[in-house]
Amino acid sequence: MAHLSEKLEKGAAKAAPAAAVYSARRPRSATAKKMFPYLLVGPAVLYLLAITLYPGLFAMYQSLFVVKFVNWSWAGLGNYTRIVQDREFWVALGNTAIIGGLSLSLQTIIAMTVAFFCYRDPFVRGWRIVFLMPMLFMPSAVAFIWKLAFNDGRVISDLLMSLGLVSNNVDWLSSVWLARLTLIVADVWQWTPFLFIIFVGALQGQDEEIEEAARLDGASWSSIFWNISLPMMRPIIVVAVTLRGIDITTMFTNVYIMTQGTPGGATETMSYFIYRQGFRMFNFGYASAASVLMLLITIVIAQTIVKRAFKSGKS
């Protein structure tokens, strides 16, 4: 014991100068203590503002001008007046709603179905890794793969012909709905895992005793899903689908690589419309006005969906 006491005294003697130095370095004034956390998070906040708020404000400012490279002329709300009368804008908005809506619906149904059947599976971790793999590919690589499968390599056509479902090679860009189908398949393949991971986590977080009690009462698996699992997951489903829906409105890479908006603009989404106006026709002010309108429409729709979903959930 005496030996242990000597060691403790020596340790305390060594720690005392270090504690004194640390105490001397600590901010002592009340103002310094309050400012210290802001100094720590300040660089991160400035970085986020630089890459999010500044581009948005600049796009709003630019939308009030007719911009041809370095020549800026004041247009006021002229770009907005012109764009609401532009048929191509509404076509692109409709294409975004159709392609995005169908893709999001399929992703939600597939992800929920697969998640429900494997969330109690002992190999669920392996399933998560397998289903997560499509998300690990670069979007441009995925677009090139599906372009090769549908159009250039005709892999899908050969497969359908070998199964006897079609007699000739299918030109996927000759039809409005076939071209839209290629975009939907590529988007569903890559982003269904995003919803799957969230839904599996939500199902695993549910109280297993409630499910067991329902089974003892004779409830079927479908009854458990519709009456227990789905209502309990409602807030998570709303948030996940809303986030994925917001992301779908910015669909650009697949359109740019796979269809270029063909045939006849049937696959031109809002992002591709803005790109075409800004970087092909060099109407930068007009493209900025379209971006601002797209942002406002997305915010209003997302806010309405979330507000109504949570309001009805409370009631």
Residue where the block lists tokens 């007719």: 66
Output DSSP code: residue 279. Answer: I
Within 10 angstroms of residue 168's Cβ, the number of other Cβ atoms is 8
**Is the model's pLDDT at 25 over the cut of 80?**
no
Residue 219 CA to residue 210 CA, distance in Å, equals 11
Q: Indicate the pairing of strand 65-68 with strand 71-74.
A: antiparallel
pTM for this model (two decimals): 0.80
The pLDDT value given to residue 314? 60
Through-space distance between the first and last CA atoms of the chain, rounded to whole angstroms: 67
Q: pLDDT tens across 205-223, in order? A: 888 888 888 888 888 888 8
Structure-model confidence comparison of residues 1 and 38, the more confident one: 38
Q: pLDDT tens across 184-193, in order? A: 999 999 999 9
Strand partners, 71: 68
Q: Which amino acid is at 44?
A: A
Is residue 184 within 8 A of residue 106, CB to CB? The reply is: yes
What percentage of the chain has pLDDT greater than the value 70?
90
pLDDT band of residue 312 (cuts 50, 70, 90) is: low
Q: pLDDT tens across 68-116, in order? A: 878 889 988 999 999 999 999 999 999 999 999 999 999 999 999 999 8
| Element containing residue 74 per DSSP (H, E) | strand 71-74
Contacts with 188 (C-beta within 8 Å, 6 or more apart), sequence order: 103, 106, 107, 110
The pLDDT value given to residue 315? 57
Q: pLDDT tens across 109-154, in order? A: 999 999 988 887 777 778 778 888 888 889 999 999 999 998 877 8
Q: What is the mean pLDDT of the chain?
A: 86
**Is the model's pLDDT at 313 over the cut of 70?**
no
**Is the model's pLDDT at 27 over the cut of 80?**
no
Is residue 173 within 8 A of residue 179, CB to CB? The reply is: yes
The two tokens of residue 249 are 């409105």
The pLDDT value given to residue 272? 95
